[in-house]
Amino acid sequence: METKRTSSKEIIAYLAEKFPACFSIEGAAKPLKIGIFQDLAEQLSEDETVSKTRLRQALRHYTSSWRYLKSIKVGSHRVDLAGNNAEAIDEAQAEYAAKTLKESQDKFANKKQQDNKDKKPYKGKKNNNAQAAGDNKRSQKFKAVKSPTKRAPKPAVELKPVESTTIKVNQQVKVRIGQAPMNATITEVAGDDISVQLDSGMVIKTHIQNIFSE
């Protein structure tokens, strides 16, 4: 018996392999025919490695990606599993896709900007002119003999393991990759297997023990 495919990434890769004229994992995506889920459910009805629930989640993940949203343009045609043209995309559909793409990109940019602000070191109050002048003289006087000072190491960020009962999609978390924790957003929860999207846009799969909250 084959192992079930549980992550969206695994299922999308499988669909791209089985229906290459319809799905892809890189390059330009093709708009999918309305009702493609039912077509897939019928085609994969005997395939025990993909459940309908996981298939629906994978399709939602695929069609919400920036790569896919960029493909929804007026005049383009949706395709069926064989790659044949289906419905043409109208202006309303194109506008909705463009709006969704912009909102997603703005949210990502704002989060990245906020994260960069949070990383800025604390700056104390500036000295007044007289004190600054005095400090400058003392600095010049002892410059030749003063030994370099070592910066105190930054305190480690305290990470709290997340509770498996509270973890959910779209939750903002920290994911440990190697030694350094990174900001991420949960995109899929499959038991102890968690898929997250990093600030760089990369989607990776990890385990719940690597997911933390500050």
User: 89 and 177 share a domain?
Assistant: no
What is the CB neighbour count within 10 angstroms for residue 123? 6
pLDDT digits (tens, 9 = 90+) for 137-177: 555 554 555 555 566 555 555 677 877 777 777 778 787 77
- Integer CA distances (angstroms), 147 to 75, 139, 154, 183, in order: 70, 12, 21, 38
pLDDT digits (tens, 9 = 90+) for 86-110: 999 999 999 999 999 999 999 998 8
pTM to 2 decimals?
0.52
pLDDT digits (tens, 9 = 90+) for 179-206: 667 787 777 777 777 776 766 555 667 8
pLDDT at 142 (0 to 100): 47
Q: Are 5 and 50 in contact (CB under 8 A)?
A: yes
pLDDT digits (tens, 9 = 90+) for 10-52: 999 999 999 999 999 999 999 999 999 999 999 999 988 899 9
Assign residue 90 the CATH number of its domain: 1.10.1710.10
Domain count, the chain: 2
Of 88, 115, 142, which residue constitutes the final position of a domain? 115
Q: Give domain status of residue 66, yes or no.
A: yes
Assign residue 208 the CATH number of its domain: 2.30.30
- What is the spatial distance between Cα 62 and Cα 147, in angstroms, rounded to a whole number? 58
pLDDT at 195 (0 to 100): 77
pLDDT digits (tens, 9 = 90+) for 116-128: 887 766 555 554 5
Q: Give domain status of residue 49, yes or no.
A: yes
Q: Which domain holds residue 105?
A: 8-115
- Integer CA distances (angstroms), 42 to 36, 38, 46, 57, in order: 10, 6, 8, 17
- What is the spatial distance between Cα 95 and Cα 72, in angstroms, rounded to a whole number? 9
Structure-token pair, residue 153: 């190491």
Residue 129 has pLDDT above 60, yes or no: no
Q: How confident is the model at residue 210 (pLDDT cuts 50, 70, 90)?
A: confident
Q: Give domain status of residue 183, yes or no.
A: yes
